[in-house]
Every structure is written in structure tokens, then in C-alpha cells.
Amino acid sequence: MWLDPHRVAPFPLSAGEFGGRLYLPPPSLARCAPVLQFARVLHALRRHASLVVIFLIAVTAGLATLQLRGAEAFMTALWHAWDLFLFIVPSLVAGLLLAAALRQLLSPDALARLMGAESGIFGLFIATLVGTLSPGGPMAAFPLVLVLAGAGADRGALVAFILAWSLNGFQKLLVYEAPLLGLDFALLRTLITFPMPMIAGWIARRVPIAWEPPK
Amino acid sequence: MSGPQIILWVIALAVLALCMRRGMPQARRAVVETNRGFWRILPMFCVALPMAAFLSELVPADIATEWLGDDSGLSGIMIASLAGGIMPGGPFVTFPLVITFSKAGAGVAQMTALLTAWSVYALHRILTWEYPVLGWRFVAMRLASSFFLPVLAGLIMQALLPFFAINLAAP
């Protein structure tokens, strides 16, 4: 029941994921097995929260479809889903490959030097560009935010980076938006939202909320 | 394969070639990460796509017209922004849902606001990533400087729409 704190190393949240510090459980917590177990379950839920939620919605919606619209509509829906899956998979694999290849080439340290507090609009522009080109989901982007912050990017640049990644990420654009909603819409929407991260970053430098990057 | 898909493959292979020029280990790592990423994302697809398909069967046609249709204007844009902000899950959920809403009569400007809000507010992402990693002060700062963007994007799209023929329901 009591765990040696040193054996806590494999604890999934502690291992170097975010510079190794953020999620390291305090020793008092680490000694208490039930609490640790609870934290593990929480961690698993947190990692798979959207999967669980979407699964529940899918089951509910599936049962409702079966009940209200009949078996034929149920099968039609599944067939549509399969169609969409076959349609997305080629883009998905290409997008993942591009993301992984870019990760091998980009150097966050060199980029962060261009994004300091004195970098002005140019720094915000670089942050927006880097965010737009940053591939992958939040599990890739947020650790990168920490790296950029540690390497000297200021808060305006970090806000611009996060927004550019989530709003205009090229991977999302090419894998999902253009194939599913049409190239015209995807391009027009991206043109509209492209400058927005810079505006938000400019405001963020002036918002009177004190924030220090996590050490 | 469609046009964007071919462009994507060309870019991906070009960047992979750059990796190879830098060294074979890098290129190999890129391929290994691609494989791992695919299997990690696959379960999500298996539940998200049927969910969107079932929902599109359930949502009666034209139900979205009144609240989110082209004529719903600013109020529709604001409703869409709220809905987008609380929508859980990644792009594999959101984009199929946007198709569903569009088939049910939602307008293009409203869907622009919804997609922007889903990116900017992203309640699920704040709770699972941004707050734990960067702290609530950062979340507050970011929201204070970006909360108006979804409505702004919707309004700009609405102003531009007369000049473009865009139909989301039939791509």
C-alpha cells in the first residue's frame, strides 16, 4: 500500500512531459497509493476525456436514430461515416507525416529568440507564422508553448502562437477543412482569421493581468 | 484524391525529403511518429464519425435555419459562437458537425463564427491543457485579448459573402 517515492518515476504525468516539473506529484501524495491510483485514473480520464464524451454522445445518438428513424436510417448513417472515413484517411496520413517531418526540422529555441517582448509586430508575425505551421494536436502544441516561453518568447507572442495554431493550423486546414467544407470556404475563412492572432497578441501585451511563465 | 489532398501529399513528401537530407535517423523518426500518431487518432475517428452521422440523421432539416440560418444575422453569429466554444473534441468531430449543421440550414457566416469560437474559446482544451500547463492567469489573459474574435470573424464573413458563392452543405 505504501509506495517508495522513487518508484513513482513511471507515474505517467511526472516523466519529462512538460520539463518534468509541472506534474510531479508532491512526495506526500506519492506515498499514498490510493491517492496515486486516483490520480492515475484522473490522468487516464483527462487524456481520453473527449474520447469518452464523444463515445457516449455517439451511442446515445445511435440509439436515438434507431428508435426514431429506424434501422435503415441507422445503417445509412453508418455507411456515410465509413465513406467520410475513407475520404479523410489519405489526408490524415499525409498530414501526420508532414507534422512528424516538420518536428524533426524546426528548432524552437532559434524561433523564440525572434519573439521577445521587444520584438514588436514582427515578433507577433513570426509567432503567428510558426503557430500556423505548427502541426499536431494540443499534446504537441502546449509543450511547445512552454519551450518557446522558456527560450524567451513573450506573452503576446505566446497568445499569438496558440491562436494561430488553433485557428489557422495548416494541418487542420488541409486535412479537414478543405476536403470537407470546400477549398473556397477554407481559403476565405483563413484569410479572414489570419491576422487575428497578431491582433490578440498585441492586446495581450497590454492586458493588465500579471503572468509569469511556469518555471 | 482531390486537389488539396494531392497538394498535402506533395508538401509532406517534400518535407520528408528535407529530413532525409539532414539524416536518415530523422527521417525514420518522422515515419515512426506518423505511424504512432495514426494509431492514436484512429479510436477517435471510430466514434466521432458515426456520432456526426447519427446527429445529422437526427437533426431535422431546416431546424437550424431559424437560429443559425443566413438571415439570423448577429444573433445567429453569437449563438454559433457560444455553441462552438463549448463543442468538445478535435477537428474530426467539429468539421463533420459543421456539415451536419449546414445541411440543416445553418449559414456560412454563422459556421465561420462557430469554427472560430471552437478554436478561440475551446473550453475542453482550456480545461485539459491550457489551465494545467499555463495557469488560469494565462487563460484569462488570452481570453481577454481574443474573446471578440469569433463574432468579428462571423461579421466579416457575412460582409464578404455577397461576393463569393459558397455552399457548405454540398462540397
**Domains of chain B, residue spans:** 1-58, 61-171
B95 and A176 in contact by Cβ < 8 A? yes
- Does residue A37 lie within any of the structural domains? yes
Residues 6+ apart with CB under 8 A from A150: A19, A112, A213
Mean pLDDT by 10 residues, chain B (171 residues): 79 91 89 89 83 80 80 92 87 85 89 95 87 91 95 95 79 47
Cβ-Cβ pairs closer than 8 A, A with B, add up to 270
CB contact residues (below 8 A), chain A span 13-32, against chain B: 18, 22-23
What pLDDT was estimated at residue B142? 94
Q: Answer yes or no: is pLDDT of A7 > 70.
A: no
- Search chain A and give the residue with CA nearest B21: A105
pLDDT above 70: percentage of residues in chain A: 83
Which SS3 state, helix, strand or coil, does residue A2 take? Answer: strand
Give A86's contacts in chain B (Cβ within 8 Å): none
What pLDDT was estimated at residue A30? 52
B54 and A142 in contact by Cβ < 8 A? no
pLDDT tens-digit series, residues A71-129: 998 999 899 889 888 888 888 888 888 888 888 887 777 778 888 878 889 999 999 99
Among B92, B106, B135, B122, which Cα is nearest to A185's? B106
Contact with chain B for residue A151, Cβ under 8 A: no
In chain A, the number of structural domains is 2
Give me the helices (H) in chain A, please: 27-30, 33-47, 49-105, 108-112, 120-133, 138-150, 155-168, 170-172, 178-181, 183-193, 196-204
pLDDT tens-digit series, residues B85-119: 988 777 878 888 898 888 888 999 999 999 999 99
B45 and A85 in contact by Cβ < 8 A? yes
Contact with chain B for residue A200, Cβ under 8 A: yes
Domain boundary among A15, A31, A47: A47
Residues 6+ apart with CB under 8 A from A157: A115, A116, A119, A123, A124, A126, A127, A148, A201
**Cβ of A168: how many Cβ atoms within 10 Å?**
25
DSSP letter at A215? Answer: -
A180 and B96 in contact by Cβ < 8 A? yes
Residues 6+ apart with CB under 8 A from B136: none
Contact with chain A for residue B103, Cβ under 8 A: no
Shared domain check, A110 and A200:
yes
- Search chain B and give the residue with CA nearest A50: B89
Q: Which domain holds residue A164?
A: 106-204
What pLDDT was estimated at residue A1? 35
Contact with chain B for residue A181, Cβ under 8 A: yes
d(CA B150, CA B76): 12
Strand partners, A32: A2
What pLDDT was estimated at residue A18? 44
> Could you tell me which residue, A45 or A200, shows the higher pLDDT?
A200
Residue-wise burial string across B30-69, b where 16 or more C-beta atoms lie within 10 A, e elsewhere: beebbeebeeebeebbbbbbbbbbbbbbbbeeeebbebbb
B91 and A176 in contact by Cβ < 8 A? yes
Shared domain check, A185 and A117:
yes
Average pLDDT over all residues of chain A: 80
Strand partners, A2: A32
Q: Answer yes or no: is pLDDT of A13 > 50.
A: no
pLDDT tens-digit series, residues A17-50: 444 444 545 555 556 677 777 777 777 776 677 6
CA atoms within 13 A on the CB side of B74: 2
Contact present, A197 and A127 (Cβ < 8 Å) = yes
Contact present, B52 and B98 (Cβ < 8 Å) = no
Which SS3 state, helix, strand or coil, does residue B37 take? Answer: helix
Shared domain check, A123 and A196:
yes
Contact with chain A for residue B113, Cβ under 8 A: no
Q: Answer yes or no: is pLDDT of A6 > 70.
A: no
- Does residue A24 lie within any of the structural domains? yes
To test the contact with chain B by mutation, choose from A144, A175, A211 the residue with the greatest count of B C-beta atoms within 10 A, namely A211
pLDDT tens-digit series, residues A172-181: 887 788 877 8
Among B120, B110, B118, which Cα is nearest to A203's? B120
Q: Which residue has the cell 439570423?
A: B72
